[in-house]
Amino acid sequence: MKTIFDLKSKEKRLLEIENIIKKDSFWNNFDNTTEILKERTYLSLTIEKFKKLKSGFEDGKILLELSAEEKDAVSYKEAYSQIKEIEIKIKTFSIELILNGKDDKNNAIISINSGAGGTEAQDWAEILFRMYIRWAERRGYNSEIIDIQHGDEAGIKSVTFSIKGEYAYGYLKFETGVHRLVRISPFNANGKRHTSFASVSVYPEISKEININIEESDIRIDVFRASGAGGQHVNKTSSAVRITHIPTGIIVSCQQEKSQHRNREIATKVLMSRLYKLEESKLDEKKKEIHDNKNGIAWGNQIRSYVMHPYQMVKDHRTNYETGNITAVLDGDIDNFIEKNMAA
Protein backbone atom coordinates (compact mmCIF):
# COMPACT_ATOMS: atom_id res chain seq x y z
CA MET A 1 0.00 0.00 0.00
CA LYS A 2 1.61 3.25 -1.15
CA THR A 3 0.80 6.56 0.45
CA ILE A 4 2.48 9.87 -0.38
CA PHE A 5 2.69 12.36 2.49
CA ASP A 6 3.50 15.83 1.21
CA LEU A 7 4.68 17.59 4.38
CA LYS A 8 5.53 20.89 2.68
CA SER A 9 2.10 21.31 1.07
CA LYS A 10 0.36 20.53 4.35
CA GLU A 11 2.52 23.01 6.27
CA LYS A 12 1.85 25.60 3.57
CA ARG A 13 -1.91 25.06 3.80
CA LEU A 14 -1.78 25.27 7.61
CA LEU A 15 0.01 28.62 7.35
CA GLU A 16 -2.66 29.85 4.90
CA ILE A 17 -5.39 28.87 7.36
CA GLU A 18 -3.65 30.65 10.25
CA ASN A 19 -3.56 33.83 8.14
CA ILE A 20 -7.27 33.45 7.27
CA ILE A 21 -8.19 33.08 10.94
CA LYS A 22 -6.35 36.31 11.80
CA LYS A 23 -8.74 38.34 9.60
CA ASP A 24 -11.57 40.13 11.41
CA SER A 25 -14.13 38.92 8.86
CA PHE A 26 -13.30 35.26 9.55
CA TRP A 27 -15.85 34.90 12.36
CA ASN A 28 -18.76 36.34 10.32
CA ASN A 29 -19.64 33.07 8.57
CA PHE A 30 -20.27 30.33 11.12
CA ASP A 31 -20.42 27.42 8.63
CA ASN A 32 -17.22 28.47 6.92
CA THR A 33 -15.53 29.08 10.28
CA THR A 34 -16.38 25.57 11.50
CA GLU A 35 -15.00 23.89 8.38
CA ILE A 36 -11.75 25.86 8.44
CA LEU A 37 -11.17 25.22 12.14
CA LYS A 38 -11.76 21.50 11.58
CA GLU A 39 -9.24 21.53 8.73
CA ARG A 40 -6.70 23.35 10.93
CA THR A 41 -7.11 20.76 13.68
CA TYR A 42 -6.73 17.90 11.21
CA LEU A 43 -3.61 19.39 9.60
CA SER A 44 -2.00 20.24 12.93
CA LEU A 45 -2.52 16.76 14.36
CA THR A 46 -1.46 15.03 11.13
CA ILE A 47 1.75 17.05 10.80
CA GLU A 48 2.60 16.52 14.47
CA LYS A 49 1.97 12.77 14.20
CA PHE A 50 4.13 12.52 11.06
CA LYS A 51 7.05 14.34 12.69
CA LYS A 52 6.87 12.16 15.82
CA LEU A 53 6.85 8.98 13.75
CA LYS A 54 9.74 10.20 11.59
CA SER A 55 11.78 11.20 14.64
CA GLY A 56 11.05 7.94 16.45
CA PHE A 57 12.04 5.86 13.43
CA GLU A 58 15.30 7.79 12.92
CA ASP A 59 16.21 7.50 16.63
CA GLY A 60 15.55 3.78 16.58
CA LYS A 61 17.59 3.33 13.43
CA ILE A 62 20.60 5.14 14.94
CA LEU A 63 20.31 3.10 18.15
CA LEU A 64 20.12 -0.09 16.08
CA GLU A 65 23.27 0.80 14.12
CA LEU A 66 25.22 1.73 17.29
CA SER A 67 24.24 -1.45 19.12
CA ALA A 68 25.26 -3.50 16.07
CA GLU A 69 28.69 -1.79 15.94
CA GLU A 70 29.24 -2.36 19.66
CA LYS A 71 27.87 -5.89 19.41
CA ASP A 72 25.48 -5.19 22.28
CA ALA A 73 22.83 -7.90 21.89
CA VAL A 74 20.48 -6.48 24.54
CA SER A 75 20.51 -2.94 23.08
CA TYR A 76 20.17 -4.36 19.56
CA LYS A 77 17.07 -6.33 20.55
CA GLU A 78 15.50 -3.26 22.21
CA ALA A 79 16.26 -1.03 19.20
CA TYR A 80 14.88 -3.64 16.77
CA SER A 81 11.70 -3.94 18.84
CA GLN A 82 11.34 -0.13 18.87
CA ILE A 83 11.65 0.08 15.08
CA LYS A 84 9.08 -2.69 14.53
CA GLU A 85 6.66 -0.84 16.83
CA ILE A 86 7.19 2.39 14.89
CA GLU A 87 6.65 0.53 11.60
CA ILE A 88 3.23 -0.65 12.82
CA LYS A 89 2.33 2.93 13.77
CA ILE A 90 3.51 4.17 10.36
CA LYS A 91 1.29 1.60 8.65
CA THR A 92 -1.69 2.76 10.71
CA PHE A 93 -0.85 6.39 9.89
CA SER A 94 -0.67 5.55 6.17
CA ILE A 95 -4.11 3.95 6.30
CA GLU A 96 -5.56 6.98 8.07
CA LEU A 97 -4.24 9.19 5.27
CA ILE A 98 -6.19 7.05 2.80
CA LEU A 99 -9.32 7.34 4.94
CA ASN A 100 -9.80 11.01 4.13
CA GLY A 101 -13.54 10.97 3.38
CA LYS A 102 -15.58 13.52 5.28
CA ASP A 103 -17.23 10.83 7.43
CA ASP A 104 -14.33 8.37 7.71
CA LYS A 105 -13.26 9.55 11.18
CA ASN A 106 -16.77 9.06 12.58
CA ASN A 107 -18.10 6.28 14.75
CA ALA A 108 -19.90 3.51 12.87
CA ILE A 109 -23.45 2.19 13.16
CA ILE A 110 -23.81 -1.38 11.91
CA SER A 111 -26.94 -3.38 11.11
CA ILE A 112 -26.78 -7.15 10.57
CA ASN A 113 -29.82 -9.02 9.23
CA SER A 114 -30.11 -12.77 8.81
CA GLY A 115 -31.20 -14.07 5.43
CA ALA A 116 -33.64 -16.80 4.57
CA GLY A 117 -32.99 -20.09 6.31
CA GLY A 118 -34.30 -19.71 9.82
CA THR A 119 -32.04 -20.86 12.64
CA GLU A 120 -29.01 -21.45 10.37
CA ALA A 121 -29.02 -17.89 9.06
CA GLN A 122 -29.77 -16.45 12.50
CA ASP A 123 -26.80 -18.29 13.98
CA TRP A 124 -24.61 -16.94 11.16
CA ALA A 125 -25.80 -13.38 11.88
CA GLU A 126 -24.75 -13.83 15.51
CA ILE A 127 -21.31 -15.14 14.45
CA LEU A 128 -20.80 -12.03 12.29
CA PHE A 129 -21.93 -9.83 15.17
CA ARG A 130 -19.31 -11.42 17.42
CA MET A 131 -16.67 -11.01 14.69
CA TYR A 132 -17.16 -7.24 14.55
CA ILE A 133 -17.27 -6.92 18.34
CA ARG A 134 -13.97 -8.81 18.56
CA TRP A 135 -12.49 -6.59 15.81
CA ALA A 136 -13.50 -3.51 17.82
CA GLU A 137 -11.93 -4.94 20.99
CA ARG A 138 -8.66 -5.60 19.13
CA ARG A 139 -8.49 -1.91 18.18
CA GLY A 140 -9.47 -0.62 21.60
CA TYR A 141 -12.83 0.64 20.31
CA ASN A 142 -16.05 0.59 22.33
CA SER A 143 -19.27 -1.05 21.15
CA GLU A 144 -22.88 -0.65 22.22
CA ILE A 145 -25.99 -2.60 21.22
CA ILE A 146 -28.80 -0.34 20.02
CA ASP A 147 -31.39 -2.96 19.11
CA ILE A 148 -31.36 -6.75 18.89
CA GLN A 149 -33.98 -9.30 17.83
CA HIS A 150 -33.08 -12.78 19.05
CA GLY A 151 -33.84 -15.90 17.05
CA ASP A 152 -36.59 -18.27 18.17
CA GLU A 153 -34.18 -21.15 18.82
CA ALA A 154 -30.67 -19.69 18.46
CA GLY A 155 -28.79 -16.77 16.98
CA ILE A 156 -30.25 -13.38 16.10
CA LYS A 157 -32.70 -12.23 13.48
CA SER A 158 -31.19 -8.75 13.41
CA VAL A 159 -28.97 -6.45 15.42
CA THR A 160 -28.04 -2.79 15.24
CA PHE A 161 -25.03 -1.62 17.22
CA SER A 162 -22.47 1.15 17.29
CA ILE A 163 -18.69 0.94 17.27
CA LYS A 164 -17.09 4.04 18.73
CA GLY A 165 -13.52 4.94 17.86
CA GLU A 166 -11.53 7.14 15.51
CA TYR A 167 -11.93 6.03 11.88
CA ALA A 168 -14.41 3.29 12.83
CA TYR A 169 -16.67 4.12 9.87
CA GLY A 170 -13.72 4.56 7.51
CA TYR A 171 -12.55 1.03 8.22
CA LEU A 172 -15.91 -0.71 8.43
CA LYS A 173 -17.63 0.90 5.42
CA PHE A 174 -16.01 -1.79 3.26
CA GLU A 175 -17.98 -4.47 5.16
CA THR A 176 -21.33 -3.42 3.68
CA GLY A 177 -22.87 -6.24 1.68
CA VAL A 178 -23.99 -9.87 1.85
CA HIS A 179 -21.78 -12.37 3.71
CA ARG A 180 -22.07 -16.10 2.86
CA LEU A 181 -21.24 -19.05 5.12
CA VAL A 182 -20.78 -22.68 4.02
CA ARG A 183 -20.49 -25.32 6.78
CA ILE A 184 -21.77 -28.61 8.15
CA SER A 185 -24.97 -27.65 9.92
CA PRO A 186 -24.76 -27.87 13.73
CA PHE A 187 -28.57 -27.89 13.75
CA ASN A 188 -29.03 -30.87 11.42
CA ALA A 189 -28.69 -34.38 12.85
CA ASN A 190 -27.80 -35.73 9.40
CA GLY A 191 -24.67 -33.53 9.22
CA LYS A 192 -25.55 -31.99 5.87
CA ARG A 193 -23.66 -29.05 4.40
CA HIS A 194 -25.60 -25.80 4.59
CA THR A 195 -25.21 -22.34 3.05
CA SER A 196 -26.33 -19.31 5.06
CA PHE A 197 -26.50 -15.61 4.25
CA ALA A 198 -26.57 -12.41 6.29
CA SER A 199 -26.42 -8.78 5.22
CA VAL A 200 -24.24 -6.11 6.80
CA SER A 201 -24.97 -2.38 6.44
CA VAL A 202 -22.60 0.25 7.82
CA TYR A 203 -23.48 3.92 8.35
CA PRO A 204 -21.49 6.83 9.77
CA GLU A 205 -22.70 8.23 13.06
CA ILE A 206 -23.32 11.80 12.02
CA SER A 207 -22.18 14.74 14.09
CA LYS A 208 -24.48 17.34 15.61
CA GLU A 209 -23.10 19.84 13.12
CA ILE A 210 -24.91 18.10 10.23
CA ASN A 211 -28.54 19.11 9.97
CA ILE A 212 -30.93 16.41 8.78
CA ASN A 213 -34.48 17.77 8.70
CA ILE A 214 -37.08 15.16 9.66
CA GLU A 215 -40.67 16.33 9.46
CA GLU A 216 -42.95 15.07 12.24
CA SER A 217 -45.56 14.15 9.61
CA ASP A 218 -43.02 11.86 7.91
CA ILE A 219 -42.46 9.58 10.87
CA ARG A 220 -44.51 7.12 12.87
CA ILE A 221 -43.39 6.29 16.41
CA ASP A 222 -44.49 3.09 18.12
CA VAL A 223 -43.66 2.08 21.68
CA PHE A 224 -43.64 -1.49 22.95
CA ARG A 225 -42.28 -3.61 25.75
CA ALA A 226 -38.62 -4.46 25.49
CA SER A 227 -38.01 -8.19 25.32
CA GLY A 228 -35.03 -10.52 25.41
CA ALA A 229 -34.35 -13.98 24.03
CA GLY A 230 -37.31 -16.31 24.23
CA GLY A 231 -39.74 -13.42 24.60
CA GLN A 232 -38.92 -12.73 28.27
CA HIS A 233 -39.74 -9.14 29.15
CA VAL A 234 -36.86 -7.00 30.36
CA ASN A 235 -39.32 -4.67 32.06
CA LYS A 236 -43.07 -4.22 32.37
CA THR A 237 -43.27 -0.76 30.84
CA SER A 238 -43.44 0.17 27.16
CA SER A 239 -39.95 1.65 26.97
CA ALA A 240 -38.82 0.28 23.58
CA VAL A 241 -39.22 2.62 20.61
CA ARG A 242 -39.67 1.93 16.89
CA ILE A 243 -39.51 4.80 14.38
CA THR A 244 -40.74 4.40 10.81
CA HIS A 245 -39.71 7.01 8.24
CA ILE A 246 -42.72 6.86 5.92
CA PRO A 247 -41.22 8.44 2.73
CA THR A 248 -38.27 6.01 2.58
CA GLY A 249 -39.66 3.03 4.48
CA ILE A 250 -36.64 2.99 6.80
CA ILE A 251 -37.44 1.43 10.18
CA VAL A 252 -35.18 1.76 13.23
CA SER A 253 -35.74 0.68 16.80
CA CYS A 254 -34.05 0.75 20.18
CA GLN A 255 -34.91 -1.22 23.30
CA GLN A 256 -31.64 -1.41 25.21
CA GLU A 257 -32.27 1.48 27.60
CA LYS A 258 -34.84 1.46 30.43
CA SER A 259 -35.94 4.99 29.56
CA GLN A 260 -38.35 5.47 26.64
CA HIS A 261 -36.91 8.96 26.15
CA ARG A 262 -33.37 7.59 25.87
CA ASN A 263 -34.45 4.84 23.46
CA ARG A 264 -36.17 7.41 21.28
CA GLU A 265 -33.07 9.61 21.32
CA ILE A 266 -30.83 6.74 20.18
CA ALA A 267 -33.31 5.52 17.53
CA THR A 268 -33.56 9.07 16.14
CA LYS A 269 -29.77 9.23 15.87
CA VAL A 270 -29.71 5.98 13.92
CA LEU A 271 -32.48 7.21 11.63
CA MET A 272 -30.61 10.45 10.97
CA SER A 273 -27.45 8.51 10.10
CA ARG A 274 -29.32 6.33 7.64
CA LEU A 275 -31.12 9.27 6.02
CA TYR A 276 -27.82 11.14 5.78
CA LYS A 277 -26.19 8.20 4.03
CA LEU A 278 -29.17 7.82 1.72
CA GLU A 279 -29.05 11.50 0.72
CA GLU A 280 -25.30 11.31 0.24
CA SER A 281 -25.67 8.40 -2.17
CA LYS A 282 -28.20 10.40 -4.20
CA LEU A 283 -25.85 13.37 -4.40
CA ASP A 284 -23.07 11.06 -5.59
CA GLU A 285 -25.51 9.70 -8.22
CA LYS A 286 -24.85 6.17 -7.08
CA LYS A 287 -28.59 5.46 -7.32
CA LYS A 288 -28.34 2.78 -4.65
CA GLU A 289 -30.85 2.28 -1.88
CA ILE A 290 -29.25 2.16 1.55
CA HIS A 291 -31.94 -0.16 2.92
CA ASP A 292 -31.20 -3.51 4.48
CA ASN A 293 -31.48 -6.36 1.99
CA LYS A 294 -31.01 -3.92 -0.88
CA ASN A 295 -29.74 -6.65 -3.22
CA GLY A 296 -31.44 -9.57 -1.54
CA ILE A 297 -29.68 -11.67 1.07
CA ALA A 298 -29.07 -14.63 -1.20
CA TRP A 299 -26.80 -16.41 -3.67
CA GLY A 300 -24.92 -14.29 -6.20
CA ASN A 301 -24.90 -11.05 -4.21
CA GLN A 302 -22.26 -11.89 -1.61
CA ILE A 303 -19.15 -9.75 -1.13
CA ARG A 304 -17.37 -12.41 0.91
CA SER A 305 -17.61 -16.16 1.41
CA TYR A 306 -16.64 -18.04 4.57
CA VAL A 307 -16.18 -21.75 3.86
CA MET A 308 -15.76 -24.27 6.70
CA HIS A 309 -16.43 -27.44 4.69
CA PRO A 310 -15.13 -29.29 2.66
CA TYR A 311 -12.10 -26.98 3.08
CA GLN A 312 -11.44 -23.85 5.09
CA MET A 313 -11.21 -20.50 3.32
CA VAL A 314 -12.44 -16.92 3.54
CA LYS A 315 -12.51 -15.10 0.18
CA ASP A 316 -13.43 -11.51 -0.67
CA HIS A 317 -15.07 -11.51 -4.10
CA ARG A 318 -14.25 -7.84 -4.76
CA THR A 319 -10.48 -8.12 -4.39
CA ASN A 320 -10.04 -11.93 -4.63
CA TYR A 321 -7.98 -11.81 -1.43
CA GLU A 322 -8.35 -15.03 0.55
CA THR A 323 -7.00 -16.80 3.63
CA GLY A 324 -7.32 -20.30 5.03
CA ASN A 325 -7.35 -19.17 8.66
CA ILE A 326 -11.11 -18.85 9.07
CA THR A 327 -10.88 -19.20 12.87
CA ALA A 328 -8.78 -16.03 13.13
CA VAL A 329 -11.11 -14.12 10.78
CA LEU A 330 -14.23 -15.03 12.76
CA ASP A 331 -12.35 -13.95 15.87
CA GLY A 332 -12.08 -10.42 14.45
CA ASP A 333 -8.91 -10.59 12.33
CA ILE A 334 -10.37 -8.84 9.26
CA ASP A 335 -7.85 -6.02 8.79
CA ASN A 336 -6.27 -7.59 5.68
CA PHE A 337 -9.67 -7.73 3.96
CA ILE A 338 -10.33 -4.10 4.85
CA GLU A 339 -6.90 -2.92 3.68
CA LYS A 340 -7.17 -4.80 0.37
CA ASN A 341 -10.44 -3.00 -0.33
CA MET A 342 -8.85 0.34 0.56
CA ALA A 343 -6.15 -0.25 -2.01
CA ALA A 344 -8.54 -1.49 -4.70
- What's the Cα-to-Cα distance from 299 to each of 9, 259, 314, rounded to whole Å? 48, 41, 16
Q: Are residues 114 and 197 in the same domain?
A: yes
pLDDT computed for residue 236 by the predictor: 56
Which of these three, 98, 117, 133, is where a domain ends? 98
In the chain, the amino acid numbered 163 is I
Could you give the residue ranges of the DSSP H alpha helices within 70-118?
Answer: 73-98
pTM of the complete model beyond 0.75: no
Name which of 123, 109, 130, 121 is nearest 254 in CA terms.
109
- pLDDT, the chain, mean: 86
* CATH assignment of the domain containing 254: 3.30.160.20
* CATH assignment of the domain containing 303: 3.30.70.1660
Q: Which of 20-29, 74-83, 148-157, 201-210 has the highest mean pLDDT?
A: 148-157
pLDDT computed for residue 287 by the predictor: 36
Average pLDDT, integer, range 298-309: 83
Q: Are residues 200 and 306 in the same domain?
A: yes
Average pLDDT, integer, range 263-281: 86
Q: Please give the tally of structural domains in the chain.
A: 3
Q: Are residues 84 and 169 in the same domain?
A: no
For residue range 115-163, what is the model confidence (pLDDT) as tens digits? 977 899 999 999 999 999 999 999 999 999 999 999 988 999 999 999 9
Q: Are residues 187 and 313 in the same domain?
A: yes
pLDDT > 90 in the chain, percent: 46
Report the first-to-last Cα separation within the chain, whole angstroms.
10
More confidently predicted of 339 and 208: 339
For residue range 179-233, what is the model confidence (pLDDT) as tens digits? 999 999 888 777 788 999 999 999 999 865 566 778 888 999 998 887 655 444 4
Q: Are residues 113 and 185 in the same domain?
A: yes
* Beta carbons within 8 Å of 68's beta carbon, 6+ residues apart: 76
Rounded to the nearest 5 degrees, what angle is found at the Cα of 106, between the Cα atoms of 209 and 341?
140
Q: Are residues 154 and 227 in the same domain?
A: no
pLDDT computed for residue 203 by the predictor: 93
For residue range 165-182, what is the model confidence (pLDDT) as tens digits? 989 999 999 999 999 999
* CATH assignment of the domain containing 78: 1.20.58.410
The reply to whether 2 falls in a domain is: no
Give the Cα separation of 261 and 241 in Å (integer). 9
The reply to whether 1 falls in a domain is: no
The reply to whether 47 falls in a domain is: yes
Average pLDDT, integer, range 315-344: 95
Give the Cα separation of 185 and 102 in Å (integer). 42
Q: Are residues 203 and 225 in the same domain?
A: no
Domain coverage including residue 67: 7-98
The reply to whether 103 falls in a domain is: no
Q: Are residues 32 and 169 in the same domain?
A: no
Sheet hosting strand 142-150, strand order edge to edge: 142-150, 156-164, 108-114, 193-204, 177-184, 302-307, 313-316, 322-323
Under DSSP, is residue 146 helix (H, G, I), strand (E, B) or coil? Answer: strand
